[in-house]
Structure 1
Amino acid sequence: MTVEIDVNMQYALGDDPMVRLTIEAAHMAGQTVLHDQLDIENATLTRVDGEGGLGQRIWARVDGGQLNLRYRASVEVAHPHRPLASLRADLLHHLPGHVMASLRPSRFCQSDLFRDLAAQNFGDLAGGQKIAAIRDWVSGALRYVPGSSNAETSAVETFAIGEGVCRDYAHMVCALARASNIPARYVSVYGPDVNPPDFHAVAQVWLEGGWHMVDATGMSSDAELVVIAAGRDASDIAFMETLSMAEMISQTVSVQIR
């Protein structure tokens, strides 16, 4: 399956010209970037490897006070798929070191505060069956409401208000999985069925020695998703960060299956 991506962003920047971007499709197993092109007017770019070696982050020094960006990519997607319920959890003492941070609480995924909830609702399940139940519980407990949360909303706040967007659904899955001693991380992706069209977020859980995607919004399947980056939560992999205030002029994200 080939996924076509076209992103246009225009932002008025503040006093500091530096912008950190996480928007390019990652070169990784399960997806092949056939072609991509990033154009940013009046910018000098510096690339650094992403956390865990997944994807790249881009520092752009933008002259003129306005970010004018276009990113286009064609990505062949062939993520292996296995039903969640068929997957076993790895024993904690067999987990590789690079996934251990995905067991711990983070800024937006306060998993230590969800241990009782996880035990009460999912304590009789194990492995992928537990994750499937968490996914379905989050899907039923939350309403998808654009604008109902912001960049500071945590999983605890999402649980309290019972609504959110993809970012919040992913945080809830991560918090409940970690509370159940299953490593989980937050993943930024492009998905063709996201409505309204935008950057998308899902969770990944570590089962049977590998990462498996979980989208509690129900908008996408792992067979269609293009991975950008992964981290503990949204604070690690925001699509754009600036050192001073920035104001959006326009932004469009188009993701189509060819």
Structure 2
Amino acid sequence: MTGPQPAEQWARIPAASADAGRVVTCDLTFGVDKPADIAFQLAVARSGRIHAERLDVATNGTPLARPVELSGPHGGRLHLLRAPRGILTVSYRAELVHPETEQPEGRAVPAGDLLTMEQLIFLRPSRYCPSDHVVGLAVAEFGALPPGRPRVEAVVDWIYHRVAYVVGSSAVHDSAEDTLLTGQGVCRDFAHLGITLCRALEVPARFAAVYAPGLDPMDFHAVFEAWIDGGWRTYDATRKVPRSSLVRIATGRDAADAAFADVLRGIATLHSLEVTATVTGNLPVDDPTADVHLY
């Protein structure tokens, strides 16, 4: 890790089994040309899994005050930092324990199968997921299948076989429509396309930014969750990592809600980014048809 190493740790609980533990880190370096307010989403979502974590920030090697933490949806946390001119370093590390004792996130469906407000939000079109533009395609490709799980699994399989994973093939402003037109993308684009097609098929779906042990090359990763049978199920059309190893960072309508860094005021340029994510023991093998809940 770069930057200063204060002794302070935010959270600590007794460790559970060492099997299936997780260690995640992220190191960022920015050049700040004009004092800047920056929002970071690097910390893992708040849950009982966190054994220990720390966040260190410094400018030109001098530690800065601890960033202000804001609570986001689904346990996500956003940190606000005011950075002076200079070289800003941000280092995050978290150790997580075995997740088996936790319950998957879910909401009861009201009488008459009416949607909750949360589900309604994730059924609507959003910036990168214009689901209202692809209803015809979605119905033509998947409408003959039974609603719910069969359609979502078919969507994931369709994306996996139809879209090529090509590093650097998309731009930050590309939407799911661009991915459909070019037939290529990265994890962010795969997730956006899955969300878009699910919403077009009347299945609430949402974006999740995650740490992903086993990803090669290592970086932040993106998957999507679909509301099926009273709970959120996790899907990854890239099929590059085991879903059971994933660690949630941020959740939202699409990538606009889950950026790892957002310069709100001032001028700051990202110079370097290094992400690591590991498991203790063997990396699990993923069954694409299995139910997986993201914690």
Structure 2 counterpart of 1:95: 115
Query: In 2, are the aligned partners of 1:21 and 1:57 still within 8 Å (CA)?
Result: yes
2:41 to 22, 25, 33: 22
Q: String of CA shifts for 1:1-36, please: whole Å, max 9, x gaps.
A: 1111121111112424211000101123xx611111
Structure 2 counterpart of 1:85: none
Query: What is the TM-score when the length of structure 2 is the normalising length?
Result: 0.79
Q: 1:192 to 1:155 in 2, by over 3 A?
A: same
Q: 1:14 to 1:181 in 2, by over 3 A?
A: farther
Identity within the alignment, %: 33
| Counterpart check, 1:112 vs 2:112 | no
Distance 1:97 1:241 in 2: 27
| Counterpart check, 1:11 vs 2:30 | yes
Structure 1 spans left out of the alignment, 5+ residues: 83-88
Distance 1:255 1:219 in 2: 14
Local SS of the residue matching 2:49: strand
Q: 1:180 to 1:70 in 2, by over 3 A?
A: same
2:192 to 171, 178, 181: 171
Q: String of CA shifts for 1:210-236, please: whole Å, max 9, x gaps.
A: 111110110123310000110000011
Query: What is the TM-score when the length of structure 1 is the normalising length?
Result: 0.90
Structure 2 spans left out of the alignment, 5+ residues: 1-19, 281-295
Q: 1:133 to 1:91 in 2, by over 3 A?
A: farther
Distance 1:66 1:206 in 2: 43
Across the two proteins, how many residue pairs are aligned to each other? Answer: 249
1:253 to 264, 275, 282: 275
RMSD: 2.2
Query: In 1, are the aligned partners of 2:214 and 2:242 still within 8 Å (CA)?
Result: no
User: Following TM superposition, by how much is the alpha carbon of 1:77 offset from its aligned partner in structure 2, in angstroms?
Assistant: 4.8
- Which of the pair has the greater relative contact order for Cα pairs under 8 Å at 6+ separation? 1
Letter paired with 1:183: P
Q: 1:90 to 1:214 in 2, by over 3 A?
A: farther
| Counterpart check, 1:34 vs 2:40 | no
Q: String of CA shifts for 1:50-77, please: whole Å, max 9, x gaps.
A: 1x35211110111233220111111125
User: Following TM superposition, by how much is the alpha carbon of 1:195 offset from its aligned partner in structure 2, in angstroms?
Assistant: 1.7
Q: 1:70 to 1:231 in 2, by over 3 A?
A: same
